[in-house]
Amino acid sequence: MELKHINLELKEAGKILSLQLNRPKKRNAFNDELISEFQQVFDGPALSKGDSYESVRLILLHGAGKAFCAGGDIRALYQAKPLPIEVLVTSTF
């Protein structure tokens, strides 16, 4: 799996998983791509070497650049397609 916005590295004989959010120009704000990659990391083996997470005891989550994470990317939210009213009503009630 290729990750564009997340850098992964196993350290200390596979006991530490370093997960770096890599959108420094956007202060590592979450957008659809970053959320998708974040889910991929924990849904299966994301490391190209085929390493597993079985020996991981610590996950180090950090951000590239000056900020850890600014939250949600507001610009990406404005560009998102609105959900149909049927989805909103059925998921709310």
Tell me how far apart the terminal alpha carbons of the chain are, to the nearest angstrom: 37
Mention every residue, 6+ apart, whose C-beta is less than 8 A from residue 60: 16, 17, 18, 19
What sign does the dihedral 66-71-73-74 (CA atoms) show? negative
> Over the stretch 10-67, which tens digit does the pLDDT of each residue have?
788 888 989 999 999 999 999 888 888 888 887 765 555 556 677 889 989 999 999 9
Does pTM surpass 0.85?
no
65: left (phi over 0), alpha (psi -120 to 50) or beta: left
Show me where the domains of the chain are located. Answer: 6-92
Q: DSSP letter at 32?
A: H
Q: Please tell me the class of the 6-92 domain.
A: alpha beta
Q: How many CA atoms lie within 13 A of 16 on its CB side?
A: 7
